[in-house]
């Protein structure tokens, strides 16, 4: 089994001109990260907490639960190409309608999905008259420099058997960039072995600086009750052979670190932590620490500079 989350086709989910680059916690509400966004400093004072945060991020990236922030259906670009095409088709008409009105106005259009259900696409005149004249794109491909479009999926089903319900909000950020936020989105699909899967995205963000460069981030509630953010995720493996993860994990108090497994992680402990495996955590100025999972109750953290090691309990 392979689940590659930070993959090039991912921004084609809602990309308005195509794609070339590449809160999942429990509860009824949307989890939103409000913590530190600068890179964390690794030291003897912070290494334990950052190791715990790295573990939270690795666990979130590999979870297969219905509240996973990264449904495995997202690994297939073909499942979502029809969404890309539908939005590209409706954007010029929306802009023409809105820019032609001298009064505050709104645009809404419902489009049928390939098999059944529909998408409702809505915008207001914040999109009008703000196309970037230097974008180098023709009129049908030009990005607005600001404004927002909302897509509501209503039992939207396409040929591959994926059904989507929920809301996606696209905000244009200038210079060809845009950010898509998915909230309370349900994706139902069928695995190759016939297994029926239903997964829910509480909060997932795809941020594109241009049509070639996109990244994924999600906010989630950790096992410790704090809210974390994870981005730039790539995952391979399975529950039976272990998981390999690279990602950026944001600790709400200390900031972000880069994590990468050095030995596959086995997530088979009742508390949701690895029993075996190891990863490297890297902070500001490339200061790094290794985290080795000794059992379901203990893990060891070693600052690589000076080889200062300590063992902690969960």
pLDDT of residue 135: 54
Residue carrying structure tokens 């955590």: 281
Q: pLDDT of 121-160, one tens digit each?
A: 888 777 765 665 555 555 445 667 788 888 888 998 866 6
Higher per-residue pLDDT: 211 or 174: 174
C-alpha to C-alpha distance for 179 and 204, rounded to whole angstroms: 10
Helix (H, G, I), strand (E, B) or coil at 126: helix
Give me the residue spans of the domains in the chain: 2-313
Q: pLDDT of 268-293, one tens digit each?
A: 999 989 999 999 999 999 999 999 99
Q: Strand pairing partners for 177? A: 174
The answer to whether the beta carbons of residues 298 and 257 sit under 8 Å apart is no
Query: CA-based Rg of the chain, rounded to a whole angstrom?
Result: 21
C-alpha to C-alpha distance for 292 and 267, rounded to whole angstroms: 13
C-alpha to C-alpha distance for 256 and 236, rounded to whole angstroms: 22
Query: Nearest-CA neighbor of 283 among 35, 115, 54, 72?
Result: 54
Higher per-residue pLDDT: 1 or 154: 154
The answer to whether the beta carbons of residues 47 and 301 sit under 8 Å apart is yes
Q: pLDDT of 30-68, one tens digit each?
A: 567 889 999 999 999 999 999 999 999 999 888 743 334
Q: Count other C-beta atoms under 10 Å from residue 312's C-beta.
A: 16
Strand (E) positions, the chain? 2-3, 106-112, 116-124, 148-157, 163-174, 177-190, 196-210, 213-221, 227-238, 242-251, 255-266, 276-282, 288-293, 298-303, 308-313
Helix (H, G, I), strand (E, B) or coil at 144: strand
Mean pLDDT taken over the chain: 75
pLDDT of residue 128: 60
């Amino acid at each position: 089994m392979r689940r590659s989350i930070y993959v090039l086709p991912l921004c084609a989910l809602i990309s308005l001109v195509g794609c070339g680059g590449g809160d999942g916690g429990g509860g009824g509400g949307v989890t939103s990260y409000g913590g530190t966004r600068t890179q964390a400093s690794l030291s003897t004072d912070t290494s334990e907490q950052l190791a715990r945060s790295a573990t939270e991020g690795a666990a979130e990236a590999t979870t297969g639960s219905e509240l996973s922030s990264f449904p495995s259906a997202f690994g297939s670009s073909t499942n979502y190409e029809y969404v890309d095409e539908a939005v590209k088709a409706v954007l010029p008409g929306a802009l023409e309608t809105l820019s032609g009105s001298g009064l505050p106005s709104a645009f809404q259009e419902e489009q049928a999905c390939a098999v059944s259900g529909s998408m409702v696409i809505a915008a207001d005149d914040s999109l009008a008259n703000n196309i970037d004249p230097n974008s180098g794109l023709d009129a049908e491909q030009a990005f607005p420099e600001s404004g927002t479009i909302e897509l509501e999926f209503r039992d939207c089903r396409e040929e591959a058997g994926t059904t989507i319900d929920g809301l996606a909000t696209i905000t244009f950020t200038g210079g060809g960039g845009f950010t898509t936020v998915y909230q309370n989105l349900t994706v139902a699909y069928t695995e190759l072995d016939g297994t029926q899967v239903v997964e829910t995205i509480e909060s997932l963000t795809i941020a594109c600086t241009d049509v070639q460069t996109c990244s994924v981030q999600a906010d989630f509630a950790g096992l410790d009750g704090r809210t974390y953010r994870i981005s730039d995720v790539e995952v391979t493996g399975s529950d039976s052979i272990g998981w390999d993860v690279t990602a950026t994990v944001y600790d709400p108090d200390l900031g972000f670190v880069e994590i990468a497994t050095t030995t596959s992680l086995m997530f088979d402990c009742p508390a949701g932590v690895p029993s075996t495996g190891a990863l490297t955590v890297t902070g500001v100025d490339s200061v790094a620490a290794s985290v080795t999972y000794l059992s379901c109750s203990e893990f060891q953290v070693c600052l690589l500079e000076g080889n200062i090691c300590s063992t902690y309990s969960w």
